[in-house]
């Protein structure tokens, strides 16, 4: 695949980001892409590796035909590359922007060289398809008359809706918020995933015949039993939206928020008002619930993607300072014995938010091996600081890692705004309890992996609601798999 000697002739080139000090002045996407010749050279780097681990179980969850479309990029056959890409991925415009690219970690070239720029190649294919007019609505030629209801419009629900609609079924997607997209719309900031892209893709799906019902909270506004009786099948893809709390003393103080409260309100204000809630943005007229970090000492607790998004958003508000707490120790800069190729390694890296803090405050915001012990309050019940202690991690052979507090390492940190970004515990109970779905030991909806069937007839589950908090690309895979099984169910005489 690609040019036989391409990986020896061309060095890895990724998208170029606008300077951090410049990009924090807006909420626009900040990647500047390579020109066509440079992108073809990157496609040429895909080597004839024999076994393409990039599309193995260690690599791409949706089994993208990566070597094939890399070769087509190299040869300038962009239309063919587009069709190969769509065979496995309903939303490459999303995964090409927000996926952590396990495919690149599994790239064979990556054993001893910088891997192929698979993620950048992917997003270039789909962006060109939109620009050329190739990505257009394609309604199904025939309808089966079968009706499917989907609860949740995140990547799992939308992928399932797209596949079921292609099969000719009549699909209705119910979303509790005012805009379709779930995590894609309100969980990922605009500078990371432009909402115009989400709206554009949603419009294509609507033109293809999918019915979207925003502001429809199944489990509160709509009885899920009604959907079970009125539709031929019901898919629950409501995500894992129950946030992990931090029940330390002082948790009740004002100024402590879950990360998704902060991110959701920020994007909604941006979209509702048409104005950017930037530095000094407390005066932005938009949605109620907007949480401003302007002029505040911000502490983000949690070191994952959501925590980084809170960092980047706070920097755009014009925060006075920013610190990021991470309980785990600082990762290695290279693979170690615990993460051999082709597994996905936990490596130290600077994400966009960390770069922006470094550019403005001349320091990395992350503090590793630190445990929050108490939130400190002011006279009016507002948070004014956080008390912490350092921890030391150890691991005995065959045992799970554990930590112990380091004596004498207590510290106090100034804080006017604390954002909790420590992950999610599972789906909210609205639908689960109303229709009596069984759950697994982690509180997710119990449904067989291959069949996606729940404990109720006609009811299926997919995405984070079934497998727990995960990646957008895994949600797409789940939605596609659930759609396949629902289609089989409807085709075998479901009543």
CATH assignment at residue 450: 3.50.50.60
20 shares its domain with 110: yes
Contact 387, 397 (CB under 8 A): no
Judge contact between 478 and 156, C-beta under 8 A: yes
Are residues 429 and 415 part of one domain? no
Do the beta carbons of residue 384 and residue 341 sit within 8 Å?
Answer: no
Tens place of pLDDT per residue across the chain (495 aa): 688 899 999 999 999 999 999 999 999 999 999 999 999 999 999 998 989 999 998 999 999 999 999 999 999 999 999 999 999 999 999 999 999 999 999 999 999 999 999 999 999 999 999 999 999 999 999 999 999 999 999 999 999 999 999 999 999 999 999 999 999 999 999 999 999 999 999 999 999 999 999 999 999 999 999 999 999 999 999 999 999 999 999 999 999 999 999 999 999 999 998 765 555 444 444 446 899 999 999 999 999 999 999 999 999 999 999 999 999 999 999 998 888 999 999 999 999 999 999 999 999 999 999 999 999 999 999 999 999 999 999 988 888 999 999 999 999 999 999 999 999 999 999 999 999 999 999 999 999 888 999 999 999 999 999 999 999 999 999 999 999 999 999 998 654
Q: Which of 422, 439, 458 is the last residue of a domain?
A: 422
Q: Considering Cα of 412, then 414, then 416, then 419, what sign does the dihedral take?
A: negative
Residues 104, 181, single domain; the answer is no
Of 422, 450, 473, which residue sits at a domain end?
Answer: 422
- Rounded to whole angstroms, what are the CA distances from 85 to 120, 124, 370, 427, 464? 13, 11, 43, 31, 24
219 and 100 share one domain: no
Q: Verify that 107 and 230 share a domain, yes or no.
A: no
Inter-axis angle of helices 36-44 and 118-132, to 10 degrees?
Answer: 140
Query: The domain containing residue 46 runs over which residues?
Result: 6-132
97 and 203 part of one domain: no
Domain boundary among 97, 132, 167: 132
Residue listed under structure tokens 């759950």: 439
The number of distinct structural domains making up the chain is 3
Residues 214 and 385: their CA atoms lie apart, in Å, by 39
Query: 479 in a domain, yes or no?
Result: yes
How far is residue 25's CA from residue 48's CA, in Å, rounded to a whole number?
A: 43
Reduced to 3 states (helix: H, G, I; strand: E, B; else coil), residue 224 is: helix
Strand spans (E) along 267-308: 297-301
- Which runs of E-coded beta strand occur in 331-382? 366-368, 370-377
| Residue-wise pLDDT tens digits, 409-459 | 999 999 999 999 999 999 999 999 999 999 999 999 999 888 999 999 999
Instruction: Retrieve residue 290's tokens.
Output: 């907007």
Reported as a single tens digit per residue, the pLDDT across 358-390 is 999 999 999 999 999 999 999 999 999 999 999
Please indicate, yes or no, whether residues 62 and 95 belong to a single structural domain of this protein. Answer: yes
If asked whether residues 407 and 439 sit together in one domain, one would say no
Is the same domain home to 320 and 235?
no
299 Cβ contact partners less than 8 Å away, ≥ 6 residues apart: 322, 323, 324, 325, 386, 413, 415, 417, 418, 419
Q: What is the DSSP letter of 484?
A: H
Tokens, residue 160:
């399932």
- Indicate whether 168 and 299 sit together in one domain: no
**Helix/strand number for the chain, H first, E second:** 17, 18
DSSP-derived letter for residue 186 is I
Task: Please check whether residue 160 lies inside any domain of the structure.
Answer: yes
Q: Which one, of 208, 138, 227, lies nearest residue 430 by Cα?
A: 227
445: β partners? 439
138 within a domain of the structure (yes/no) = no
Q: Which residues of 1-14 are buried (b: 16+ CB within 10 A; e: fewer)?
A: bbbeebbeebebee
One domain, residues 50 and 179: no
Residue 26 domain-assigned (yes or no):
yes
Cα–Cα distance measured from residue 38 to residue 331, given in angstroms and rounded to the nearest whole number: 32
For residue 113, is it within any domain?
yes
Q: Where residue 60 sits, what CATH number does that domain have? A: 1.10.1060.10
Helix/strand/coil for 368: strand
Q: Are residues 37 and 82 in the same domain?
A: yes
């Amino acid at each position: 695949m690609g040019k036989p000697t391409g990986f020896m002739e061309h060095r890895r080139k990724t998208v170029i980001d606008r300077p951090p000090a410049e990009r924090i002045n807006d909420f626009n996407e900040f990647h500047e892409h390579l020109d066509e010749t440079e992108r073809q050279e990157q496609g040429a780097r895909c080597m004839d590796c024999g076994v393409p681990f990039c599309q193995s179980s260690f690599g791409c969850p949706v089994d993208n035909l990566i070597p094939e479309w890399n070769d087509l990029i190299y040869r300038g056959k962009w239309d063919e590359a587009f069709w190969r890409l769509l065979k496995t991925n309903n939303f490459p415009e999303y995964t090409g922007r927000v996926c952590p690219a396990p495919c690149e970690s599994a790239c064979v070239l990556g054993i001893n060289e910088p891997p192929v720029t698979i993620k950048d190649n992917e997003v270039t294919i789909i962006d060109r398809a939109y620009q050329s007019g190739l990505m257009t609505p394609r309604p199904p030629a025939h309808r089966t008359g079968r009706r499917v209801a989907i609860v949740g419009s995140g990547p799992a629900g939308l992928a399932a809706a797209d596949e079921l609609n292609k099969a000719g079924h009549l699909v209705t997607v119910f979303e509790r918020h005012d805009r379709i997209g779930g995590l894609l719309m309100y969980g990922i900031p605009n500078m990371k995933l432009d909402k115009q892209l989400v709206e554009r893709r949603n419009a294509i799906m609507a033109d293809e015949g999918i019915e979207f019902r925003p502001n429809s909270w199944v489990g509160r506004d709509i009885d899920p039993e009604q959907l079970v009786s009125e539709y031929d099948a019901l898919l629950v893809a409501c995500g894992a939206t129950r946030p992990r709390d931090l029940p330390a003393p002082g948790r009740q103080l004002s100024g402590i928020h879950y990360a998704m409260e902060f991110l959701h309100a920020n994007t909604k204000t941006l979209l509702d008002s048409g104005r950017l809630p930037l530095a000094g943005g407390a005066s932005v007229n938009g949605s109620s619930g907007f949480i401003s970090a302007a002029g505040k000492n911000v502490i983000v607790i949690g070191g994952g993607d959501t925590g980084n998004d809170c960092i980047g958003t706070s920097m755009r508000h014009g925060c006075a300072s920013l610190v990021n707490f991470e309980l785990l120790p600082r990762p290695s800069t290279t693979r170690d014995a615990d993460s051999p190729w082709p597994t996905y390694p936990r490596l130290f890296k600077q994400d966009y938010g960390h770069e922006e803090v470094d550019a403005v405050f001349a320091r990395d915001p992350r503090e590793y091996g630190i445990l929050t012990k108490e939130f400190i309050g002011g006279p009016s019940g507002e948070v004014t600081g956080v008390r912490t202690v350092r921890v030391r991690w150890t691991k005995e052979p065959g045992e799970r890692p554990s930590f112990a507090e380091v004596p004498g390492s207590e510290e106090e940190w100034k804080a006017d705004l604390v954002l909790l970004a420590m992950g999610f515990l599972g789906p909210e109970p609205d639908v689960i309890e109303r229709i009596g779905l069984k759950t697994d030991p982690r509180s997710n909806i119990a449904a067989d992996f291959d069949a996606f069937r729940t404990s109720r007839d006609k009811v299926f589950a997919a995405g984070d609601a079934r497998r727990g908090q995960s990646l957008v690309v895994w949600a797409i895979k789940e939605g596609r798999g659930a759609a396949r099984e629902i289609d089989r169910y409807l085709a075998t005489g479901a009543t």
